[in-house]
């Protein structure tokens, strides 16, 4: 039986992308979101070509490209000397090599663009302020499939036997922004930069639409509460300072001056089933929340929503869900491995750090780009 109507739990990036992707195939959906309104949340994010290609198919990319920044390069920089270790060209190079742009923007900008498209689509209906507890919300019409896009703390996950569980990753993110007019000179106005140091790394890139820099420092940390806090406890600030031992004084000073740090314990999910064999499926962080070391969290949510719609439009529901999981799981597993490798490389110390710097220095930009082809050059199922 072909799918005619879907219920989607969660109005984040994966849920809204799924709704639009289903609509493009003539499938209607209801999206249920527990928040009473979709407010400004999160910070910056990177949209790599594999995701940008899908946004173009959904009619979202043109407006985004007017306000986002396409970085000229993605740079790896020593956190102690501020010397460039390696750089991957982006900008026009990304469009030429991977057939789609690489952009950076505020998460809210992407969320609002997806939301506007959903609200303008007659096949999509959004319900706000609907909290999922022990039972599914009341659908306006019977749903052929129920899609859990409700994040790492998914409630719908309870409906899927042997599903993943959230766990603290052992990593903490400290997020803040700096007005471009107040940013120090070592912050690159045209590129994504990752400053690498033993036990920590700092990612920086401009947010064109807000006139600021997005800054995220990630380091190992102790077990922390589920919810992020607007102000890190003193013990967490002390821990961050300790992790920055040996870093360039300008970076250390920049972090210590920030009073509006967002302290964010990073959670991921264990392995487990994404679907129940009948009509319920998990996507995005609900299925496979991962660490940001490959900068692919948002991209995987977008890929999930788009490819799930392709399977649902071509197969009976139970078969579509099984095929989707078999198709997506290897790519997610490979990205987790890449993220784990990046964490090891970014936070390297001693002789390993010296070896890392030598290897990176010997790799030409084209070689570094080729190593990303399987991520950025990926064409989602059904894309021409």
Catalytic residues: 205
Residue from 294, 233, 238, 227 nearest 265 by CA? 227
Residue from 252, 265, 191, 181 nearest 221 by CA? 265
Give the tokens for residue 164: 């993943």
How far apart, in Å, are the Cα atoms of 365 and each of 6, 360, 370?
A: 44, 10, 9
3-state DSSP call for residue 316? coil
Give the tokens for residue 333: 């597993």
Give the tokens for residue 182: 């107040």
How far apart, in Å, are the Cα atoms of 306 and each of 170, 267, 291?
A: 31, 24, 22
| Exposure letters 341-369 (e unless 16+ CB within 10 A, then b) | ebbebbbbeeeebeebbeebeeeeeeebb
From CA 203, how far away is CA 183, in angstroms rounded? 14
Strands (E), the chain: 5-9, 28-33, 44-47, 73-78, 84-89, 103-106, 124-128, 145-148, 166-179, 192-197, 200-207, 212-220, 262-269, 280-282
């Amino acid at each position: 039986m072909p799918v005619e109507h879907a219920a989607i739990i969660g109005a984040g990036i994966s849920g809204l992308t799924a709704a639009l992707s289903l609509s493009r195939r003539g499938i209607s959906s209801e999206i249920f979101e527990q928040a009473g309104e979709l407010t400004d949340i999160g910070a910056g994010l990177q949209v790599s070509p594999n995701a940008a290609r899908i946004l173009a198919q959904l009619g979202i990319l043109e407006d985004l490209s007017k306000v986002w920044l396409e970085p000229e390069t993605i740079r790896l920089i020593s956190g102690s000397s501020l010397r460039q270790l390696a750089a991957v060209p982006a900008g026009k190079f990304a469009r030429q090599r991977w057939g789609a742009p690489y952009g950076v923007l505020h998460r809210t900008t992407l969320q609002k663009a997806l939301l506007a498209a959903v609200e303008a689509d007659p096949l999509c209906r959004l319900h706000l302020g609907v909290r999922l507890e022990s039972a599914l919300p009341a659908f306006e019409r019977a749903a052929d499939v129920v899609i859990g896009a409700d994040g790492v703390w998914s409630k719908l996950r309870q409906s899927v036997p042997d599903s993943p569980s959230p766990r603290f990753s052992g990593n903490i993110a400290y997020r803040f922004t700096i007005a471009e007019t107040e940013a120090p000179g070592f912050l690159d106005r045209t590129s994504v930069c990752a400053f690498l140091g033993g036990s920590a790394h700092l990612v920086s890139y401009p947010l064109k639409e807000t006139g600021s820099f997005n800054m995220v420092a990630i380091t190992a940390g102790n077990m922390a509460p589920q919810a992020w806090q607007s102000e890190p406890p003193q013990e967490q600030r002390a821990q961050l300072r300790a992790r920055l031992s040996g870093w360039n004084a300008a970076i250390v000073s920049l972090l210590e001056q920030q009073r509006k740090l967002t302290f964010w314990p990073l959670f991921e999910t264990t392995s487990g089933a994404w679907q129940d064999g009948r009509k319920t499926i998990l996507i995005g962080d609900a299925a496979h929340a991962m660490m940001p070391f490959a900068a692919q969290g948002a991209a995987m949510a977008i890929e999930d929503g788009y490819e799930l719609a392709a399977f649902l439009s071509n197969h009976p529901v139970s078969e579509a869900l099984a095929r989707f999981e078999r198709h997506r799981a290897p790519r997610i597993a490979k990205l987790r491995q890449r993220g784990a490798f990046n964490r090891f490389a970014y936070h390297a110390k001693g002789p390993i750090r010296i070896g890392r710097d030598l290897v990176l220095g010997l790799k030409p930009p084209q070689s570094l780009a080729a190593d990303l082809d399987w991520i950025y050059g990926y064409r989602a199922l059904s894309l021409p």
